[in-house]
Each structure stands twice: as C-alpha cells, then as structure tokens.
Structure 1
Amino acid sequence: MTAPGAPPEPLVDAPSAPDEWVRALSATGVERERATARLHEMLLRVARAEVRRRGARLRISGPELDDLAHQAAADAVLAILAKIGEFRGESRFTTWAYKFVVFEVSGKIGRHFWSQPAAVLEAGDWDRLPDRFGLDPARESEWRDLVRALRRAVEQELTEHQRQVFTAVVVDGVPLDALVAKLGSSRNALYKTMFDTRRKLRASLVAHGYLHEKPGRRP
C-alpha cells in the first residue's frame, strides 16, 4: 500500500522505463492509446490525492471534488503528450509527469475558489484577525494594540505587492493556490514574498517595542 503523500505504485503493464514511456506515447494507433489510458489512470490517482489534500480548506467535496481531479488529470495528459519530446530522462518519467498534474490541480482549485460567491472578500478584514490566530480574549487590550501596530507596519513598510499578498493570505485567509491563480504567479514566488514580508514586519514591530528581538537574531 502506498504511504500518504508518496507517489502511487506503478500500474500493472505500464511502461517500466522512461524511454518506454516516451516510445509508447510517441507511437501511433493502439499502442499510443493504451499508453495514454495508463498515463491518465496514473495521473488521476495523483490528482484525487491532491484535491483531497487541498480541497478541505475550500470546502469542496463529493462529485465536485472528483470532477476537478478528472479535469486536472485530463489536462495534464494533454500537456504531457504535447511536450513528450522535451523529456530528457534527467528524472523518472513518473516524477516528470506528476509535476504536470500537480500544476493542473493547483490552477483548477485556485480558479474554483474565485468562482464561488463566498470568495468576494472585504478589503482587509482586520477585526477578524485575533479570532483567526486564536488570541486570548482575556488579553484583548494587549493584542488590539499589536494588531493596530501590525496594520500600520503593513501600510507603511511594505511594497504594494507585499501588502496585497499579506492581506490576502493572512488577513482574508485566501488559499495560496487561489492567490497564485488570481495573480498569475507561482507558489515559490509567493513563498518568497511572504518570507520578505514577515522579515520587514517583524523588524518594524521590534523597532517600536511590540516584539522583543531574540538574542543573536537580526531582523
């Protein structure tokens, strides 16, 4: 049985080496059809695992979730067939193929988020921030000051792009896949933006006495 998060086990009768996959998918007639069907089955398993993992935050379930998985697998197969000549054998064929379906899942989940009426968010609902972080109601005056200071730092210290990403992800709780789809960016690019943003905000809060700098650490 495949461990959670691990690539699915190879399918019976599927090509066992990268060059066999390339040859079979580049062939014509029945051989190509069979290889394409096996590829789709393999990618559908990956897509279903990915949409289950990511769909919980978007409250997607049942037939709708499975439909997204089927769409992602089908589009990934088409993309792989179109680019089969670009595969150079520098990694396992399945590893290369999985990247296509994961990319398709990310895009489809992201677009699905913005297609829902609930995705129409207020611009920066800061009043909900303490609840989202589970802050202690008994220390309301303390964290209210911190939230106000954080908001000032966001408005004064960040670039427009950093402010947009921080507000969407942290304040409004927009899933990263959805923000990638909206901005036409990538997960890695947004991770880098959030890293730089957190560093700026922490430095500002430390400088104004709202946080204490850890010994030996630079903002």
Structure 2
Amino acid sequence: MTVRAAGSPLEGVADGTPVPEAEPEDWVRALSAEGTEREQGAVRLHEVLLRAARAETRRRSGQLRISGPELDDLAHQAAADAVVAVIAKIGEFRGESRFTTWAYKFVIFEVSAKIGRHFWRQPRVPMEAADWERLPDRFGLDPARESEWRDLARALRQAVEEELTEHQRRVFIAIAVNGVPLDALVAELGSSRNAIYKTMFDARRKLRACLVANGYLPENPVRRS
C-alpha cells in the first residue's frame, strides 16, 4: 500500500521532506496539470532524476577525467533537461512499467548527450591525427617485442586505409586509436550506440582477416583458460 503525503501525492518536496514512491497515475496527473501541482511534480521528478544522473555521471566519469562541481553540474543539467523531456512526452506513458523506470530513460539519454558535447569542447587531438607509432605502448605491449609490434601497427594502419570504408575508418580510429569515448562519438556523428558497435564489429572483422592473410596474426588465436 502506497503511503501518501497530505493533499497532492507529490507534496512536501520543496522543503526537502522525503516523499514515498508515488503511483504512476499520480505522476501523470501532476505533470499534466497546471500551476502549483505541476510545479510540485516537476520538483519531485527533478529530485528523482538528479539522483539517477549523479549515479550515471559518476559511472562514466573516467571517460572524461572530470569530478567534483563540474561533474555535478553536468548531472544537474541532464536532470533538468530530462524533466522537460518527460513533461513533453507525458502523454506517451502507458503504465507498462514504474513511472520512474520510464523516466530514467530520458535522464540516461541526457547524460550521454552531455558527456558527448563535453568531450568535443575539450582541446584534444582531432580524430584524424592518429598517433599510430605509439599504438603498441598504448596497449601496454612488451617493450622487448617493440619491433614486432611496431611492424604490426604499420600493417594495421595500412589495412585501415585500404580495407575499411570511410565511415568504418573514422569510427575505428576514433575509438581504438585516439580513445574517443563511445558517447562522445555518438554525439559527434549523430548516431546511436548500437550503430557504432556494429560499425566497430565489422571494421575489426575486416582488419583481422587482412592481418591474418598477410601473416601478422594467427588464423586461430590462442585462447587463455
């Protein structure tokens, strides 16, 4: 049984009083209303989505190497924009899940978008300026095999230039060589995570086939138990 605050089921938020999980119909009614009730619903929703945004930004903070106030500001922006998006789409909620579960999708999207935009605002090496010669070092390969690995890096670069499509080449260089975060690349290309995953899968398959054919990689890699 859901316990409710007095008056509106979403009251008690502005002063920081904890409010139990409201029923989906309470969320829909409050966010579809006008005036005070809608404002209270938006405040409560922002509180809920801010917690989700903070958790998600902390999880992804390693991609950006940011923390503290800057990271929290990104979470606040994501939560605020997600509230606006949820209110605009409130008529599409069908009650097939908890309301907050449905709303979380909006804040996760906003966090991803803002991480992407943040990355491209930073002064970094452009995607096209791939530092191929340092590729073995980047992957922590054995310095004693430096010559062998550098030969492989040169062969890989040639395969990238000759075997991949322009789109596959851009995605592969960005992620595998320059270390661009996935969400940043999604934002830059106006694509989706699944589309980028598929592009990387196809590119890796082509490159491996080329390197195997030219003797740089074994046809059947040794699997570690």
Aligned partner of 1:90 in structure 2 is 96
Contact 1:14 1:38 in 2 (8 A): no
Matched pairs, number: 205
Q: Where in structure 2 are the equivalents of 1:145-160 lying within 5 Å?
A: 145-160=151-166
Calculate the TM-score normalised by the size of structure 1: 0.87
- Are 2:174 and 1:162 aligned? no
User: Which range moves more in the overlay, 49-58 or 118-127?
Assistant: 118-127
Aligned-residue Cα RMSD (Å) equals 1.7
Q: Where in structure 2 are the equivalents of 1:6-85 lying within 5 Å?
A: 12-85=18-91
Contact 2:128 2:173 in 1 (8 A): no
Equivalents in 2 of 1:119, 1:213: separation in Å? Answer: 34
User: Which range moves more in the overlay, 183-192 or 158-167?
Assistant: 183-192
Q: Kindly state the Cα deviation for residue 86 of structure 1 after the two structures are TM-superposed.
A: 1.2
Equivalents in 1 of 2:127, 2:202: separation in Å? Answer: 25
Aligned partner of 1:3 in structure 2 is none
Q: Kindly state the Cα deviation for residue 168 of structure 1 after the two structures are TM-superposed.
A: 0.6
Q: Kindly state the Cα deviation for residue 142 of structure 1 after the two structures are TM-superposed.
A: 1.2
Q: Percent identical across equivalent pairs?
A: 77
Q: Kindly state the Cα deviation for residue 140 of structure 1 after the two structures are TM-superposed.
A: 1.0
User: Which range moves more in the overlay, 28-37 or 162-171?
Assistant: 28-37
Contact 2:127 2:174 in 1 (8 A): no
Deviations 1:92-123 (A, max 9, x none): 22221111111111111111111112354661
Contact 1:79 1:100 in 2 (8 A): yes
Equivalents in 1 of 2:116, 2:209: separation in Å? Answer: 32
Q: Kindly state the Cα deviation for residue 20 of structure 1 after the two structures are TM-superposed.
A: 2.4
Calculate the TM-score normalised by the size of structure 2: 0.85
Aligned partner of 2:139 in structure 1 is 133
In the alignment, structure 2 segments of 5+ residues that lack a partner are 1-16
Q: Which has the higher helix share?
A: 1
Deviations 1:120-164 (A, max 9, x none): 466111122111100111001211111111111111111000000
Equivalents in 2 of 1:42, 1:86: separation in Å? Answer: 20
Matched to 2:191, the amino acid is S
Contact 2:79 2:107 in 1 (8 A): yes
- Structure 1 pair 15–31 and aligned structure 2 pair: CA distance change class (3 A): farther
In the alignment, structure 1 segments of 5+ residues that lack a partner are 1-10
